[in-house]
Amino acid sequence: MTIAIGFIFRAGIILASDSQMSNGETKALDEKKIFRLNFIDSFYGAIAVSGDITAATYFREILDAKTEYAVMKGGGKQLQELVTESMAEVRAKLLDYVDDGTTSEVQRDKHLERHRYRAIVAYYDNKHPYLYTFDSLNGIARKAERGFVAIGSGSPTARLILSGGKFREIEISLALGLSLYTVEACKKFDRSCGGDVQHLLLDKGMDGGATTLGKDVIRAYSEAARSIDPKIQRFISREIVDEASKLLEEYNQAWIARQRVTAAPGPRLRKSANRKTKP
């Protein structure tokens, strides 16, 4: 599934990702994962994808066709509907490959799971920034609750780095460095992540301001991120271990609670009939 992230900061919305996608049992490298969405009016946005490259490519092509000539009178809600519709069309197209009249529901579900992908959708609506994630298995939109989102197999690492960040207070240079460092850290901790870092910025203005950085700039920031990584690697590693320990403890306590509820009462001990009594 690899990694893609997004967060809202003072000057806009940043999207960043690696360049790796799933391709069946193998990995596809050097794939474009972040795209600007084009509309014929002043509404603008962008998407980042992660997961199966075949299904994600279908999704992007269908969504591009829907948004290219769209007048976004419905704003962000209309865009969310277009994303959900596009995912539904991809789902139908994928099932056409396996539906032969004898395909079971389990086989259909496994096929959809093999071609699972996720998307981050970023946009401005009435000068307000929005970030959502979508999962191809259900097409349901989930709004960013803490100012950032992360999708893909590297998302646990990304969440540990970005959790608690005061994004609204940081300037563009720090936001850029943080986004690129996060992707580099995911590449280090998760073997499914790899390739060059991709990046896109939606600025706060209403002039369709979506900009991408040149490879030389991204390369310089990525090298800086890798150079500082040894200094904080232990901190991140400890955070990952601590988080895993917490989750395991929560699971253990929940399991104990279930055992107490479901366990049948044991047999009561009966008093021995031959017990001696005091004189």
What is d(CA 142, CA 120) in angstroms, rounded to the nearest whole number?
A: 10
What is the per-residue pLDDT for 167? 83
Instruction: State pTM to two decimals.
Output: 0.75
- Are the C-beta atoms of 182 and 161 separated by less than 8 Å? yes
Q: Can you tell me whether residue 151 is helix, strand or coil?
A: strand
What is d(CA 134, CA 52) in angstroms, rounded to the nearest whole number?
A: 14
> What are the strands of the beta sheet with 148-151, ordered from one edge?
148-151, 4-9, 12-17, 198-203, 210-211
Nearest to 64 by CA among 49, 74, 50, 77: 49
Chain mean pLDDT for the chain: 79
| Lowest-confidence segment of 23-32, 37-46, 136-145 by average pLDDT | 23-32
Domains of the chain with CATH codes: 4-229 (3.60.20.10)
- Are the C-beta atoms of 37 and 200 separated by less than 8 Å? no
What is the per-residue pLDDT for 210? 62
* pLDDT tens-digit readout, 64-77: 888 877 777 777 88
What is the per-residue pLDDT for 85? 93
pLDDT of 273 > 80? The answer is no
What is the per-residue pLDDT for 16? 94
Cβ count within 10 A of residue 179: 27
What is d(CA 203, CA 211) in angstroms, rounded to the nearest whole number?
A: 8
What is the per-residue pLDDT for 178? 85
What is the rounded average pLDDT of the residues 134-155?
90
pLDDT of 218 > 90? The answer is no
What is d(CA 275, CA 175) in angstroms, rounded to the nearest whole number?
A: 79
pLDDT of 37 > 80? The answer is yes
Binning pLDDT at 50, 70 and 90, where does residue 166 land?
confident
Distance of CA 40 to the CA centre of its chain: 28
Nearest to 236 by CA among 190, 170, 191: 190
Question: What does the DSSP assignment read for 115-134?
Answer: T-EEEEEEEEETTEEEEEEE
What is the rounded average pLDDT of the residues 198-205?
82
What is the per-residue pLDDT for 276? 46
pLDDT of 135 > 80? The answer is yes
Percent pLDDT > 70 in the chain is: 70
What is the per-residue pLDDT for 231? 52
pLDDT of 50 > 80? The answer is yes
Which residues have CB under 8 Å from 199's CB, separation 6+?
14, 15, 16, 34, 176, 179, 180, 212, 213, 218
What is the rounded average pLDDT of the residues 163-177?
81
